[in-house]
Amino acid sequence: MSLAVAHPALAQAAPTPPASTIFVTGRGEVQVAPDRARVQVGMETQARTSQLAAQENNRKQAAILAAIRKLGIPDA
C-alpha cells in the first residue's frame, strides 16, 4: 500500500518569461536560375573480363552525359 500526500510547499508555478523577451519566427526563400552544376557519376559493372567491364562503364557514362547535354546543360 502506498500513500501520496500533496505538499503545497513543494509545488512551484511554471516560470514566466521576462516581459522584455521577444520571440520571432521567420522564413525566407529565393529562387534563381542555376548558373553552375557539378555532376559526379559512379557505377559498378561486373563482366567476364575487366576490359568488357570497362567498355560497359564507358557506354553507360556516355549515355548519362548525353542525357545531361540533351537537357541543355553545356559541358563547361
At 38-67, the pLDDT tens digits run 878 788 889 999 999 999 999 999 999 899
Question: Is residue 55 classed as helix, strand or coil in its secondary structure?
Answer: helix
Domain boundaries, given as residue ranges, for the chain: 47-71
CB-side neighbour CA atoms (13 Å) of 57: 13
- Whether pTM > 0.85 for this model: the answer is no
Q: Which residue has the higher pLDDT, 9 or 24?
A: 24
CA distance 3 to 31: 63
Q: Which of 59, 57, 35 is nearest to 46 (CA)?
A: 57
Q: Which residues contact 46 (CB under 8 A, 6 or more apart)?
A: 53
Q: What was the pLDDT predicted at 49?
A: 94
Instruction: Give yes or no for residue 5 having a pLDDT over 70.
Output: no
15-32, pLDDT tens digit by residue?
776 678 778 888 999 999
